[in-house]
Amino acid sequence: MHVVIPGRYNGPPTSGNGGWVSGLVASHTPVTADAPAVSVRLRLPPPLDRELTLDVGETTVLHDGDDVVASAAAAPTPDGPLPEMVSVEQARAAEDHALSAAEHPFPTCYGCGPSHPTGLRMRSGPLADGSGTYAATWTPRDDSPPEVWAALDCPGGKAAGFPTTLMVLGTMTAQIFTPPAIGEEHVVLSWSRGDDGRKRHAASALFTADGRLLARADQTWIALDPPTT
């Protein structure tokens, strides 16, 4: 089948938002009772506004001509302890410490860019409790998998150390247990799972305002080499 990543779903200005693209690929990937989540590996920056080929199977592959952009397969549910749930008010307070447009390397990112005209604007900031957990609010306009994966993506990057360390999403494994309610305020928490060389591991989870878990994700981010002068 053929798919196009519309330009509005960008991360960096010239390529697709990693979470949105991963959610698109995941939505076409078969899962099983033993492996109800999907793990997506991004291999190249996803191109925008041109026809790509999505080959669906036990391993689903997104192609740009002969190049593999992403691959995906069913995976176990992300596990490990979740942070203590916080209120919407606490999440809003954390957003006061989110990146401004001037501080953001990609201010027009669909997921978290303050300057994207129609983006999700996920404004993750550190909680005041010193736990290292980040929080943001989200009121969905769309409950599709690409939107939910995008909402889980950028908060994980912030917890992993972005933008102090410039990095790109390498792998994202996520499961949506229940779609979010359109028009209702939700909370996204994110936290670091440690570093391994250039790899930065993080996790994120989506909750209703009253604390019900709707989706969770694990991510591996790849730190970029600093620019040479």
pTM for the model stands at 0.95
The DSSP code sequence of the chain is -EEE--GGGBSSTTSB-HHHHHHHHHTTS---SS--EEEEEE-SPPPPSSEEEEE-SSEEEEEETTEEEEEEEEEPPP-SPPPPP--HHHHHHHHTTSPPTTT-SSTT-TTT-TT-TTS-----EE-TTSSS-EEEEE--S--SHHHHHHHHHHHHHHHHTTTTS-EEEEEEEEEESSPPPTTS-EEEEEEEEEEETTEEEEEEEEEETT--EEEEEEEEEEEPPPPP-
Single-letter amino acid, residue 215? A
Q: Tokens 């694990």 belong to which residue? A: 218
**What is the rounded CA–CA span in Å between residue 229 and residue 220?**
28
pLDDT value, residue 211: 95
Instruction: Answer yes or no: is pLDDT of 15 > 70.
Output: yes
Instruction: Answer yes or no: is pLDDT of 225 > 80.
Output: no
The mean pLDDT of 5-12, rounded to a whole number, is 97
Instruction: Give the pair of three-digit tokens for residue 34.
Output: 């033993």
Instruction: Give the pair of three-digit tokens for residue 4.
Output: 């196009």
pLDDT tens digits, one per residue of 29-43:
999 999 999 999 999
**What is the rounded CA–CA span in Å between residue 179 and residue 145?**
8
Residues pairing with 174 in the sheet: 38, 217
The CATH number of 2-75 is which of 3.40.50.2000, 3.40.800.20, 3.90.480.20, 3.10.129.10? 3.10.129.10
**What is the rounded CA–CA span in Å between residue 155 and residue 17?**
13
**What is the rounded CA–CA span in Å between residue 90 and residue 94?**
6
pLDDT value, residue 226: 59
Instruction: Answer yes or no: is pLDDT of 229 > 50.
Output: no
pLDDT value, residue 165: 87
The mean pLDDT of 65-81, rounded to a whole number, is 96
Instruction: Answer yes or no: is pLDDT of 228 > 50.
Output: no
Average pLDDT, the chain: 95
Q: Which CATH class is domain 88-223?
A: alpha beta
pLDDT tens digits, one per residue of 140-160:
999 999 999 999 999 999 999
pLDDT value, residue 182: 98
CATH 3.10.129.10 in the chain is located at 2-75, 88-223
pLDDT value, residue 224: 84
Instruction: Answer yes or no: is pLDDT of 49 > 70.
Output: yes
Structural Rg of the chain based on CA atoms: 16
Q: At what angle do helices 18-26 and 145-160 cross, to 10 degrees?
A: 140
Return the sign of the alpha-carbon dihedral for residues 135, 138, 144, 146. negative
pLDDT tens digits, one per residue of 115-124:
999 999 999 9
pLDDT tens digits, one per residue of 189-212:
999 999 998 899 999 999 999 999
Instruction: Answer yes or no: is pLDDT of 18 > 80.
Output: yes
The mean pLDDT of 162-185, rounded to a whole number, is 95
